[in-house]
Structure 1
Amino acid sequence: MVITDEDELDAFWDIARAHASLAGVPVYTGENPFRTLRPPSWAFGSTPEQADELLSLVLDGTKTATASSCADYAKEGEQLPAPRTLSIVLDGSGHPRALVVTTHARVVPFDQVDADHARDEGEGDGSLDHWRAVHERFFDEHADGGFLPDMPVVLERFRLLYPTR
């Protein structure tokens, strides 16, 4: 993936937080961390094409959930997503395109992911069988430690706060 320009991220964050009414009123509430702290940025998938395809599903409202390998968070030393966590989603070229907020996150074994989550990921025909086939292949190729049927998977639901086209 292309490295995102910090100035571009800052400009996006300025617009997105104002549009999403995140800044608050500092006179009444004190300094709001949303006024100064830019959330982390990331892209879906492992290729620019996957990033663009999955981002388009987010922007059109089809994709409201995602899944990732729990082992990858540990390997990178990153905290797991939690409710109210903001993220800037990048396109396949590394440009910021959307601001999302996590609404729910949980860790479950791969083989216990349910049909509701698979549907909310918005990919393919939305079935659990499709979800399992695609994610087994993805985790086998890209997850730290590869794929295991009972591997811990982070299931995250999110809401789109600010899109750009």
Structure 2
Amino acid sequence: MDVQSFFEQAKSTLNLPKTTPLQSAYQFGSEADELAQLVLTGTKTATTSAYDLYEADEPLPKVGAYDVILDAHDQPVCVTRTDQVMITPYLDITATHAYLEGEGDRTYAYWRHVHDVFFEQEYQSAHQLFDPQTAQMVLERFHVVYPAH
């Protein structure tokens, strides 16, 4: 099912106004299928993106907005609603946020290791240098409002 049809179905099921907009549809990182399943089960309720890499025409996420989470084949898995958005220095990200991201053993050490590697690659692909000392991050908290089942 395509993203827009999936979102229309979710709006109908949730009795949302027909004019409710879709903020975005996206995959999570390099493990899109695994991370989408963590979202679907409620294990993953947070994410981190690089504020420094947002384009001028790319809006920041907004509290109360709806997103469609996609699997590795760009198929809709679920709809989430954004609960919180914060911009914070990379080094100020807490163990609580790392736990809410739901990945690996959910420790800060695991989160930091995989995100150091991830952000180094993300910045490099944008021809920038990732510096944990100065990098600004967008932290989002969300919850599933419409499962694909």
The TM-score, its normalising length taken from structure 2, stands at: 0.90
Q: Is 1:82 the equivalent of 2:62?
A: yes
Conserved in 1, the CA contact under 8 Å of 2:45 and 2:101? Answer: yes
Between the two proteins, the alignment pairs up a number of residues equal to 145
In the aligned structure 2, how far is the partner of 1:98 from the partner of 1:60? 10
In the aligned structure 1, how far is the partner of 2:108 from the partner of 2:67? 26
In the aligned structure 1, how far is the partner of 2:48 from the partner of 2:70? 17
The TM-score, its normalising length taken from structure 1, stands at: 0.81
Q: Which stretch shifts more, 58-67 or 12-21? A: 12-21
Aligned twin of 1:54: 35
Q: Is 1:147 the equivalent of 2:130?
A: yes
Q: Is 1:66 the equivalent of 2:47?
A: yes
Return the match for 1:123 from 103, 107, 127. Answer: 103
TM superposition shift of 1:71: 1.7
Conserved in 1, the CA contact under 8 Å of 2:46 and 2:141? Answer: yes
Identity, % of aligned pairs? 35
RMSD (Å), alpha carbons: 1.6
TM superposition shift of 1:20: 2.3
In the aligned structure 2, how far is the partner of 1:153 from the partner of 1:38? 22
TM superposition shift of 1:76: 6.0
* Structure with more of its chain in helix, by fraction: 1
Conserved in 2, the CA contact under 8 Å of 1:139 and 1:146? Answer: no
Q: How does 1:102-117 map to 2 (within 5 A)?
A: 102-117=82-97
Conserved in 1, the CA contact under 8 Å of 2:22 and 2:65? Answer: no
Q: Which consecutive residues of structure 2, in runs of 5 or more, have no partner in the other structure?
A: none
Q: Is 1:33 the equivalent of 2:13?
A: no
* SS at structure 2 position matched to 1:54: helix
Q: Is 1:16 the equivalent of 2:15?
A: no
Conserved in 2, the CA contact under 8 Å of 1:57 and 1:63? Answer: yes
